[in-house]
């Protein structure tokens, strides 16, 4: 089969920067090892060509499942990268997405399309194929900006978490220490957390109380003009 057009068309792909936070509070990114040229054997973001009959987000989710087994991820569009020389084969424009995954409860399934799939610490990434380093940098900047004004950080935590876990998450992403008293005051004052009658288990120190984020309450408050802010 061949497809013919009056004017030349760039190829269109999607790429996903999926973030996870591990139990030691390391921020990680999911990479795949390419098994085809160009950049064969090099690490890259999961992604691939957009099919003619699927939307951009559908393509991103399909590629994530095919290449990493990841399903039902929090996913938002990041930016579209379209400089003329970003792929040595052809003019390829890519719509980048970023995703957030709770690594506490998540385990990698066997990858199908890719040679290998692995979580890498953001501070220790291997050299990446194409312009994927620039895409990762922009995703980091977006994450850092967005966690302060939207409650997306909870996507990186298990459903039930301690206030210390939540603070560590913010400290890791914002790359700065936060004052414990101020942080707790700020977060509790917004009234978005449900205090549970449950405590941590399996810890050697005093078990801390568990909380849950209330997304419905946030949606209602937001409609009334409320601004989330850390």
Which spans of this chain sit near its own copies (rule: CB under 8 A)?
1-12, 49-50, 52-56, 77, 79-80, 82-84, 91, 93, 95, 145, 149
Of 82 and 215, nearer to its own copies (C-beta) is 82
CA torsion sign, 55 to 61 to 66 to 67?
positive
Of 150 and 214, nearer to its own copies (C-beta) is 150
Give the β-pairing of 92-101 and 11-21: parallel
Cβ at position 57, least distance to its own copies in Å: 8
CA atoms within 13 A on the CB side of 214: 16
Cβ at position 229, least distance to its own copies in Å: 10
Cβ at position 139, least distance to its own copies in Å: 14
Cβ at position 88, least distance to its own copies in Å: 16
**Distance, first Cα to last Cα, the chain:** 54
| CA-closest candidate to residue 38, choices 98, 2, 92 | 92
Of 51 and 185, nearer to its own copies (C-beta) is 51
- Output the six-digit token pair for 206: 């005093």
| CA-closest candidate to residue 17, choices 141, 115, 149, 181 | 141
CA distance 197 to 55: 43
CA distance 229 to 4: 51
Cβ at position 213, least distance to its own copies in Å: 21
Of 5 and 189, nearer to its own copies (C-beta) is 5
CA distance 37 to 16: 19
Of 80 and 191, nearer to its own copies (C-beta) is 80
**Region for residue 98 given its phi and psi (left: phi exceeds 0; alpha: psi -120 to 50; beta: otherwise):** beta
Cβ at position 202, least distance to its own copies in Å: 38
Question: Would you say 200 and 104 are in contact if contact means Cβ atoms under 8 Å apart?
Answer: no
Of 20 and 48, nearer to its own copies (C-beta) is 48
């Amino acid at each position: 089969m061949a497809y013919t057009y009056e004017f030349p068309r760039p190829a269109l792909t999607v790429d996903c920067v999926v973030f996870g936070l591990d139990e030691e509070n390391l921020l990680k990114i999911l990479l795949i090892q390419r098994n085809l040229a160009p950049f064969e054997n090099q690490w890259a973001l999961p992604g691939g060509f957009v099919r003619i009959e699927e939307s951009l987000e559908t393509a991103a989710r399909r590629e994530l499942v095919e290449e990493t087994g990841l399903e039902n991820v929090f996913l938002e569009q990041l930016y579209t990268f379209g400089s003329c020389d970003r792929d040595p084969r052809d003019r390829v424009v890519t719509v980048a997405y970023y995703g957030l995954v709770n690594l506490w409860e998540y385990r990698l399934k066997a990858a199908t399309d890719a040679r290998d799939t692995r979580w890498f610490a953001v501070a220790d990434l291997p050299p990446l194929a194409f312009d994927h380093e620039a895409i990762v940098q922009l995703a980091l900047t977006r994450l850092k900006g967005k966690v302060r004004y939207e409650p997306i950080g909870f996507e990186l935590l298990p459903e039930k978490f301690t206030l210390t876990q939540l603070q560590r998450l913010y400290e890791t992403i914002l790359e700065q220490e936060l004052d414990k008293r101020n942080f707790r005051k700020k977060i509790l004052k917004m009234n978005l957390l449900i205090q549970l009658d449950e405590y941590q288990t399996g810890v050697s120190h005093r078990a801390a109380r568990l909380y849950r984020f209330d997304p419905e309450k946030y949606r209602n408050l937001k409609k009334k003009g409320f601004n989330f802010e850390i």
